[in-house]
Amino acid sequence: MTAAEPVRLRCPDCHRDHRYTSPGYPCPCGAPVAVPLLGAAEPAVLHRRVWDEEWVTVRCAACGEENDWPRPEVGCPCGTLLRPAVRTADTPPEELDGPPPAAAARPDPAERVPEPRSGDRVRPVFRPAPIRTARDAVEAAARYLVWLGFRDVVPQVVHQPEPRSGIPAGPRLPAGTDLRGRGVVAQVEPSTLRTTLRDVECLWLNGLTAAATPVYFALAGYTDEALARADDLGIPLFTVDLAGEPQPVNGPARGLAAAGAS
């Protein structure tokens, strides 16, 4: 599979429609590879991550080599994480039938983010990288903050909590790692547990102490209480899929993604 077609996904919780295109990854041969999706199938809701289920094997149409790539995910603004159905060699033929729903898909107005600008210059497109370890998640958030316009962004370990279930840590990098830069303090949660109200409030206090903009990045999404509190406090919340692409999930995040660092 070397090209991806957009599909329409409907969130079962808020019934918002999403138009999604599977991202392309670079095969070792240099050709782009995209995970093929089943547009006619309903997406699943991701409640808990299981590392062995986070990857899907795709054959490159150019060289025939098979590699494992992150299984696609879509973060709905309501806080639900959607997992589109993936087409594999074992997919029954009857599931491949049906008109492609992408043609009629219309992005929800809440999802439309104006073209990001920094000053009078249009920012280049953000280039994600697949997340395979907790360190990759932190690096993805750091690169995104730099892309937004924040400067001198570096990770700092602020505490040593009890281990939480999640993706392999890789080189030692515990949960509780935040990112500090000029005018920004960000928390990155790479575990399989949803971020809670307490987590959001702790970040808000860190932002007040540092006189900086607080930003949260989470792989597993947020509880309803955390989403409501973040809206009250004006904290931008992002989810990060395993493709390494941060997605805004509330109004402050969409505003930050559109305007960039002030």
Domains of the chain: 7-83 (no CATH), 134-158+173-259 (3.40.1350)
Instruction: Report which of residues 105 and 182 the model is more confident about.
Output: 182
- Residue 16 clears pLDDT 80, i.e. is over it: yes
Greatest CA separation found in the chain? 58
What is the model's pTM?
Answer: 0.55
Residue 231's pLDDT is what? 93
What average pLDDT does this structure show over 115-137?
Answer: 72
- Residue 185 clears pLDDT 90, i.e. is over it: yes
Cα torsion 40, 41, 46, 47 to 10°: value is 140
What value does the mean pLDDT of the chain take? 77
Would you put residue 15 in left (φ > 0), alpha (ψ -120 to 50) or beta? left
- Residue 106 clears pLDDT 50, i.e. is over it: no
Cα–Cα distance measured from residue 55 to residue 34, given in angstroms and rounded to the nearest whole number: 13
